[in-house]
Amino acid sequence: MRTAAFTFNNERVVTGSKDATARVWHVRTGQPATDPLKHDGPVTSVQFSPDGRWVLSASQDGRARLWDAQTGQPSAHVFRHDAGVNIAQFSPTGRWVATASDDHSGRVWDVQTGQPVTPPLLHQQKVFFVQFTPDGQRLVSASHDGTARLWDAPQFTLLIPDWLPDLAEAVIGHRLNEEGSLEVVPVRKLLELKRRFESDPSAHAYNRWARWFFADRSTRTISPESPVTVTAYVESKAQ
């Protein structure tokens, strides 16, 4: 065994091994939770995403990969280097993945598209380590060339859809009218807005949050990105 990491709720552990596999385990029983997550070389690092949805593994086969933490199925996205990958790390929000490789570079990747979002973070020799700052604004890389370097992390912005301010008013139940007075927003406004954002193909992230807000409370997850329901999370904490 070479590396290991817990989920956010300590219910599962993921391990990485020289046998070219990562494994997800139930903490309480010690039994595997998924089939082996297979690489073509020794696994050098493993990590759960901040929301617990994904497992991120890095390998000497020159790849870092995402796997569904519940099923063990691989994502279509593969983060490729020209030599072994020594570590892969999520940003604090889970939006980006940073990798460090024997090809003398670090890279930052978009989790949703699998594409690099920065030029290579170059050193003179192998890069052994990379990590985001707690606020996600910068990252540090460390190399066998005797240097550690700081880099600016990519920034992500979205155009605000025209229905979002209306949705905020409808959720609160009040709006400020042109005379500067508060007036009640009728409940039916929420249903009208629901139809608007469901038919809006743009602003995917805002759309995802809106869908999460309107989800049935008995099955709502703890965040738009998480597969863990609120009920399951509360029960896990009560045990």
Q: What is the 3-state secondary structure (H, E, C) of the chain?
A: CCEEEECCCCCEEEEECCCCEEEEEECCCCCECCCCEECCCCEEEEEECCCCCEEEEEECCCEEEEEECCCCCEEEEEEECCCCEEEEEECCCCCEEEEEECCCEEEEEECCCCCECCCCEECCCCEEEEEECCCCCEEEEEECCCCEEEEECCCCCCCCCCHHHHHHHHHHCEEECCCCCEEECCCHHHHHHHHHHHCCCCCHHHHHHHHHHHCCCCCCECCCCCCCEHHHHHHHHHC
Task: Pick 233 or 201 by higher pLDDT.
Answer: 233
User: Under a CB-based contact definition with an 8 Å cutoff, are residues 147 and 123 in contact?
Assistant: yes
pLDDT tens by residue, 189-225: 877 877 777 666 555 556 667 777 777 877 888 776 6
Do 45 and 121 sit in the same domain of this protein? yes
Do 10 and 125 sit in the same domain of this protein? yes
pLDDT score for 96: 92
pLDDT score for 100: 97
**Confidence check: pLDDT of 63 > 90:** yes
**Whole-prediction pTM value?**
0.66
Token pair 């954002």: residue: 197
Domain boundaries, position 21: 3-152
pLDDT score for 98: 97
pLDDT score for 156: 53
Q: What is the mean pLDDT of the chain?
A: 86
Residue 118 is part of a domain; what is its CATH number?
2.130.10.10
pLDDT tens by residue, 142-192: 999 999 999 988 865 555 666 777 878 887 888 877 777 888 888 788 778
Do 176 and 137 sit in the same domain of this protein? no
Examine the fold and report which residue of 103, 123, 152 is the final residue of a domain before the chain moves on. 152
pLDDT score for 37: 96
pLDDT score for 72: 94
Do 35 and 77 sit in the same domain of this protein? yes
Indicate the range of 49-58, 78-87, 134-143, 223-232 predicted with least confidence: 223-232
Examine the fold and report which residue of 152, 173, 201 is the final residue of a domain before the chain moves on. 152
**Confidence check: pLDDT of 125 > 60:** yes
**Confidence check: pLDDT of 38 > 70:** yes
Give me the mean pLDDT over the 11-40 stretch: 95
**Confidence check: pLDDT of 35 > 80:** yes
